[in-house]
Amino acid sequence: MDYFSNNHRDGGPVFDKPEFSNPADWMLDVTLGRVAPQQEEPENVAAFFPLNDAEAAAEALSRLWLARSREGREQFQPDVLERPADSRVLESLRSQRAFVVQFICFAKRAFLQHLQLPGRLYFDCALMSFFGALFGMQSKNVKVHKLPIAQLWIGIGLQLFLAVATLPVFGSERVVFWREAARGSGMSLNIAAYFLGKDILVTVVLCLVLTMLSGFGSQTLDKLNSAPGLRIVPWLSPVRWVGETLVVAQTRKLSFAWKMSPTVYRKPTRDSALALLFGYTFHEGTFHL
C-alpha cells in the first residue's frame, strides 16, 4: 500500500485510497487498472491502462447506463415532491377520487349482501313497524299538542334507537371494517365512504317503512293526492286501508247519507278507494238531505 501511495517519488502515478474502503479490494482494483491515479478523472483511465475489447465495452456500457439514469431522474422526478403544498393538493385529489370509487364498491357489496339475506331486511322492517305501532298505541286518542313531552321523546328515542340498531354497520360487520381499515392493512379505506355506502340502502328501507306507516291525519285521498309526490303513498299505506275498513265496518248499517258528507258523496271515487273496491254506486241524485 505504501508503494502505491508514495510512488510519486519515482515519478510514477499516485493512487489515493478512499476512506473506509477495503485495502485488499482497493489494491486489487489498482492492479487491474480500475482505479484512476490521483488528480486524474476516471475518464482518463484508459490513457494510463489500456483496456481490452471486453473491458472497454463494459466501461462504455456502464457510462451509458449512468448517463441514462441521470437523465431519467432529471426528467421523471416530479416537482410535487419538492413542494409540500403541491403534494397536499395531489393527496387531496387522490383521496376525493378514492372516496367515489370506495363508495360505489361498498354500496354494491351492501346490495349483494341484502340480496343474500332477505330475511334480515324483513325482520328489520317488522321490528320498526312494531315499535311504531307500540308508540301509536301509547298515543291513542291523544293529540300531539297535549301529548306529554316525556312520552313524546320516549317514542322518538325508541324508534331512533331501533333504526340505528338495525343498521348493518353497527352489527357484526363493524369488526370486519375496523380490521380492513387498520393502519397496517395498507388499504386506506375511507370511513365516510364506508358508512354512506352501507347506509344508502338502509335509507331506502326506512323510506319504505315510513311510506307504509303513513296515512295518519289524512281523512281523504283527495288531500293526499293534492301533492304530486304523494299520489302513490295512500295506495301503499296499510294504515290507510285499515282505517277505511274500520270506518266501513262501523257505518255499513247506516244509510249512505250518514256514511259520507255531502262534499264527499258527490264524487266518492275521488275521496275513497273503498268506493271502487266495494262497488258502491254513488251519484248525485241518490242522496237527499
Say if 84 falls within a structural domain: no
Same-domain status, 109 and 189: yes
Confidence (pTM): 0.39
Query: What is the tally of structural domains in the chain?
Result: 3
Same-domain status, 239 and 136: no
Question: How confident is the model over 156-199, as pLDDT tens digits?
Answer: 776 676 666 666 655 566 666 666 666 665 666 777 888 788 77
Helices within the chain (DSSP H only): 2-5, 23-32, 45-48, 53-76, 84-116, 118-138, 149-165, 173-180, 191-212, 221-225, 233-236, 238-251, 256-259, 262-265, 268-271, 274-277
**What is the C-alpha to C-alpha distance for residues 234 and 247, in angstroms, rounded to an integer?**
16
> DSSP state, 212?
H
Same-domain status, 133 and 168: yes
Same-domain status, 202 and 238: no
Q: Which residues, other chains included, contact 196 with Cβ-Cβ below 8 Å and sequence gap of 6+?
A: 103, 106, 107
Say if 81 falls within a structural domain: no
Same-domain status, 226 and 166: no
Contact predicate 79/86, CB 8 Å: yes
Query: 69 lies in which domain range?
Result: 2-76
Same-domain status, 265 and 237: yes
Question: How confident is the model over 239-289, as pLDDT tens digits?
Answer: 556 656 666 665 666 555 555 544 444 454 444 444 444 443 333 343 333
Last residue of a domain, one of 179, 212, 245: 212
Last residue of a domain, one of 212, 237, 265: 212
Say if 193 falls within a structural domain: yes
Same-domain status, 144 and 187: yes
Say if 174 falls within a structural domain: yes
